Amino acid sequence: MTVASANRPLAGIFWMLVTGLCFVAVTALVKYLGPRVPPQEQAFLRYVLGLILLLPALRPLLRSRPTPRLWALFAGRGFLHAGAVMLWFFAMTRIPLAEVTAMNYLAPVYVTIGAALFLGERMAARRIAAVVAALVGALIILRPGFREIGPGHLAMLLAAVIFGGSYLTAKILSSEVSPALVVSQLSIWVTVALAPFAAAVWVTPTPAELGILFGVALFATAGHYTMTLAFRAAPVTVTQPVTFLQLVWATALGVLVFAEPVDGWVILGGSVILGAVTFITWREAVLHRRAITPPVPATKI
């Protein structure tokens, strides 16, 4: 990151605010769509429609000549990500918006654990303590033994793990090929991987449902774009805490639009998780390490 970019914290905060609003809009639209269209089909249509928005970025794909190893990584990541996206769409129709948002904060924590297990990343005592704190935050949200843990919660927990695996694969790929190629290959392979699952449960969507899913694709694509603007303007250590507002907005939206009750334990647990992720990110910056733990929005759909 250049010095100029690091000196624009207000711009970074602004673009991260916009990013959070985009991703909250994604969750709200999926929640509004409901379960009539199966989650596999919703996920497939989101990526098909998203490919239209990414057409300008597909030019690097046509010029590239990946090795067999890279093709395997591209395909493997696509199938991993497809599984996580289907689980995420399923969870959205089963549990409140605030719980989906809070539990999605776990994905960067799983990336940190995966980096230690598979990439040889060193886990110092403070980093281990932050990971443990994040897992305690998850227990605060779920409160096993004190509330019912349904399929939606289990789906979201697994989705966060798989999103973490997808991001780790992206880190490996980004050191060998351009980011544009990584993004375009992901979009194509996820679409391919989702196609048979969508075909098996296909329900013909209405024009209104297609419009909602196009809105999902539009806001998701816009969110990833504004996220890059935020990172270009300011360090992740500045923009990361802003992502807490996504939990506030999701909670407010759940109450005002979907009549979901406010759960203080979810807010507390989400705050603990995000605090842990922010601490890990800050330590990476202080130690001038190659960043492994991603910002929270980087693991969105």
pLDDT of residue 228: 80
d(CA 107, CA 88): 12
pLDDT of residue 33: 92
d(CA 261, CA 54): 37
Q: Are 236 and 285 in contact (CB under 8 A)?
A: yes
pLDDT of residue 63: 73
Closest CA to 267 of 250, 279, 281, 253: 250
Name the pTM for this structure: 0.87
d(CA 186, CA 184): 5
Distances (CA, A) of 140 to 46, 144, 286: 32, 9, 29
Distances (CA, A) of 177 to 70, 111, 291: 9, 20, 17
Q: Region of 33 please: left (phi>0), alpha (psi -120 to 50) or beta.
A: alpha
pLDDT of residue 158: 95
Six token digits for residue 160: 């966060």
- For residue 213, the Cα-to-chain-centroid distance in whole angstroms is 17
Helix axes 68-92, 151-174, angle to 10 degrees: 150
Which residues does residue 147 pair with via DSSP β-bridges, in sequence order?
A: 144
pLDDT of residue 233: 84
pLDDT of residue 7: 62
Residues 6+ apart with CB under 8 A from 228: none
Amino acid in position 53: L
Closest CA to 296 of 11, 10, 24: 24
Spell out, as residue ranges, where the chain has pLDDT lower than 70: 1-7, 57-62, 288-291
Q: Are 163 and 109 in contact (CB under 8 A)?
A: no
C-beta atoms surrounding 183 within 10 Å: 19
DSSP assignment string, 236-264 = HHHHGGGGHHHHHHHHHHHHHHH-PPP-H
d(CA 51, CA 53): 5
Q: Can you give the residue ranges of every domain in the chain? A: 35-207+236-299
d(CA 30, CA 165): 24
pLDDT of residue 96: 93
Per-residue model confidence as pLDDT tens digits over 28-80: 999 999 889 999 999 999 999 888 877 776 666 667 778 899 999 999 999 99
pLDDT of residue 139: 94
